[in-house]
Structure 1
Amino acid sequence: MVKRIPVGARYGLRDWLAQRVTAVVMTIAIVILGLALIVCRPADFESWREFVFTGWVRILLFLTVLSLAWHAFIGARDILMDYIKIDWFRLLKVITTIVYLVVCVVWAAVILL
């Protein structure tokens, strides 16, 4: 019999549900943005800029970036927990992942908001 010891503050159903919710949010956002691009058809840089910096597009893009970061963190953390057995090295990798994703979200916020 294998004894499984869950480690981590949010182990199980909460992470599973968070990944599904973020995947649905990203899918809906990509479909909406794709349809908007088909309708608007920006041809040059100025029309692309005007499209991206429309209020609802900026909010939708930023929501997509937040969902992507959360989704990526959960997946990366689970992989690191499963495959890296040295505690200090796993902690270092998780912290590195968190810092990278926070920088990406802040960068997207600076650009979009």
Structure 2
Amino acid sequence: MLIELLTKKYPGMRLWLTQRLSAVAMVVYLLLMLLVLAIRQPHDYASWLDLMSPWWWRLLTLVFFASLFTHAWLGVRDVFKDYVFNLRLRAFLQIVVDMLLIGYLGWVSIILWKL
């Protein structure tokens, strides 16, 4: 049943499911982060650096931000489809948002892997 919903017969279902899965990934990361912060309680730069230095934590953080930007991209796309009726303006705004989100993901990657 689920596989049938993800076919071309229902074009918006994949995007809807992607947005929901990205939200779940963000919630799981945030709960894990709250748990780690409650246990370790970093109070200075060195303790924050120690918290963020394991490669697997940086990877989880990168997955969080990729989920965040995917979620934002889909949400902004839907808002533009609903409220921006000029097709050229909508395409231009979507390109600007796409470039910004890709740039932000690159920036986060640089920050995380240059610790």
TM-score scaled by length of structure 2: 0.86
Q: 1:106 maps to what in 2? A: 106
Question: 1:26·1:64 contact (CA, 8 Å) conserved in 2?
Answer: yes
Sequence identity, in percent?
Answer: 32
Structure 1 gaps of 5+ residues are 1-9
Match of 1:6 in 2: none
- Aligned residue in 2 for 1:50: 50
What's the secondary structure of 1:50's corresponding residue?
A: helix
Q: How do residues 9-88 of structure 1 correspond to structure 2 at under 5 angstroms? A: 11-88=11-88
> After the TM superposition, which segments of 4 or more aligned residues of structure 1 sit over 4 Å from their partners?
none
The more displaced of 80-89 and 50-59 is 50-59
TM-score relative to the length of structure 1: 0.87
Mark the runs of 5 or more structure 2 residues left unpaired by the alignment: 1-9
CA distance in 1, matches of 2:79, 2:106: 24
Q: Deviations over 1:28-60 (max 9, x none)?
A: 011111111111111211111111122222111
Aligned residues: 104
